[in-house]
Amino acid sequence: MNIIGKKIIRLATVDSTNDYMSDEIRRGTIIQEGTIIIADKQTKGKGLDANTWESETGKNLTFSVFIKPEFLKAERQFMLNKTIALGIYDFVKSVVKKQKVSIKWPNDIYINNGKVAGILINNTISGNQFVYSIVGAGININQTRFASNAPNPVSLRNYLKHNLDLKECLNSLCSFFNKRYQQLEMHNYSVLNSDYLSVLFRLNEIHRYRFGNNNIYARITGVSEYGKLQLITKNNQNIECDLKEIEFVI
């Protein structure tokens, strides 16, 4: 059953769609599963930690999705991350078919060496059970110039050389989301795991990283069940690390 995108709430301006949705839930507003809140302009779009998401008004997709993956154990929450990342990957790849599209761990979407989309997932968990998740995402669609100090933003427009219809993009994206979410609901973890790994940015390639206070050269070998990045250094040292422990040098 396709649930994501059955209801879409469009806002002209909001500080953050994730915050807006969280505030509505705290007020007791009943939100239908699969509801999308999308904004023409976010004044405080969020990335991981204290990062912000730059988006020119009316040029991109900036939205949040409300889901209730109660069928998923909390210990498997990185599977939800893979599901959402693959949904956006599928959409981006369908648009820029000739370009190399990949997922930069844990959930940035890249075209070649440029970041085209970012994801922020806020999970509410009780014991070992999901209560609900708010999935926020920003996808650069028609923006061509980026004023922030983000190192490598790109948009679909940069590659296509023509604008895309944002409503059509959202409809297409919802189709890809629903397909992946159904795989998650059916516990089709093997497909999600293999698909995620097959498009992982820099998999099995030697590159430079900042690990601790040092520069290291290593290759990514995989991702653990709990979402930790696995690498092996040029000196054959195995590393397993969380997000804050390693930095990609692009």
Comparing CA positions, the residue from 53, 119, 122, 57 lying closest to residue 88 is 119
* Residues 75/69, Cβ–Cβ less than 8 Å: no
Task: Give per-residue pLDDT as tens, 186-235.
Answer: 999 999 999 999 999 999 999 999 998 899 999 999 999 999 999 999 99
- Under 8 Å CB-to-CB from 213, ≥6 apart: which residues? none
Tens digits of per-residue pLDDT, 165-190? 999 999 999 999 999 999 999 999 99
Residue range 8-198 in CATH 3.30.930.10: yes
Q: At what angle do helices 189-198 and 166-185 cross, to 10 degrees?
A: 130
Work out whether strand 8-14 and strand 108-111 pair parallel, antiparallel, or are unpaired.
Answer: unpaired
- Distance (Å, rounded) from C-alpha 114 to C-alpha 226? 26
At residue 49, does pLDDT exceed 50? no
Given a cut of 80, is residue 45 above it in pLDDT?
no
Query: What type of residue is 209?
Result: Y
DSSP string, 165-202: -HHHHHHHHHHHHHHHHHHHHTT-HHHHHHHHHHTBTT
Mean pLDDT over the full length of the chain:
94
Q: What is the mean pLDDT of residues 81-102?
A: 98
**Residue 55: per-residue pLDDT:** 74
